[in-house]
Amino acid sequence: MDEFTGYYFEDLKEGMTAVFGKTVTDADICIFAGVSGDTNPVHLNDDYAKGTMFKGRIAHGMFGAALISAVFGTKMPGPGAIYVSQSLRFKAPVKVGDTLIARVTLKELMPQKKFAKFDTVCTVDGKPVTEGEAVLMVPSKG
């Protein structure tokens, strides 16, 4: 691994894992709404959100997905890796003040295409809020 390439395909081993954590702030939700264009009032309007099943504002589900992407792009496989696919299941809401932990675990190496398949999960207080699977193309040494 080097700082501009991350792990090469040949350096990866099934079972490897990496994490990234962030405590969600009101500013994070507002900025994410602005960048994504998703201004659903369940994310931005206290009065509206109090009347929902969540009883308050929640973070965008894709905010967790963005943290998964952060793990892939900065830690493992790291710089140079390219997303091929990502499935997601949203299991529970994330609220302001929650600490969201994104974890990726290498599940399978596919040498013919230099692809790597990962289990992905975001948790709050150890409970899964987002689960899925991702496939990434990983740079090779040769």
Task: Count other C-beta atoms under 10 Å from residue 17's C-beta.
Answer: 13
Domain annotation covers residue 5? no
Residue range 26-51, pLDDT digits in tens: 999 999 999 999 999 999 999 999 99
Provide Rg for the chain, Cα atoms: 17
Residue 12 lies in a domain: no
Domains contained in the chain, number: 1
Residue 1 has a pLDDT of: 58
Please check whether residue 7 lies inside any domain of the structure.
Answer: no
φ, ψ of residue 24 in degrees (nearest 5): -75, 130
Is 10 a domain residue? no
CATH no. for residue 68? 3.10.129.10
User: Does pLDDT of 25 surpass 80?
Assistant: yes
* pLDDT per residue as tens digits for the range 59-79: 999 999 999 999 999 999 999
Give the structural domain span for 31: 17-137
